[in-house]
Amino acid sequence: MVSPANRTILSSFLAALFVVVADAALGISASLPFGELLVGLLVFPGFTLLLPQAYFAWRSDDEAMVRRHVWAGCGLSALVVFGTAVNTGPPERWGLLGVACALLAVPVGITAREQYRATLVGDE
């Protein structure tokens, strides 16, 4: 039997494949400004990296595993977006750098909130 983790990863890859096939069949990326870039970001860092890690973090009971999944998903997605930003023109580059910084802000904010709460508990 296939493990739940493997089913999650397989379903995220199938969703990414569905978006690619739907884009090829309907020409969605051609009709949108920066369409190819948007579809590419949705497919690779969105569906294949961030979505499974977010699901694993949501389903986990262990706080350390939640942090690891959030950092892995957001960190790897931000790394891919940074890499994509290097190979684009100036208008797209600034948007992609903003997306990458927002992706990194999520785990940093979660960690800062946890540290703040730990100081409040320690003062009591």
Give residue 74's identity as a one-letter amino acid code.
Answer: C
Give me the pLDDT at residue 36, please: 83
Band the pLDDT of 95: cuts 50, 70, 90. Answer: confident
Give me the pLDDT at residue 97, please: 92
Chain position carrying tokens 């797209």: 92
CB atoms within 10 A of CB 118: 10
Give me the pLDDT at residue 29, please: 85
Cα 99 to chain centroid, rounded: 10
- pTM for the whole thing? 0.80
Query: Considering Cα of 101, then 106, then 111, then 115, what sign does the dihedral take?
Result: positive
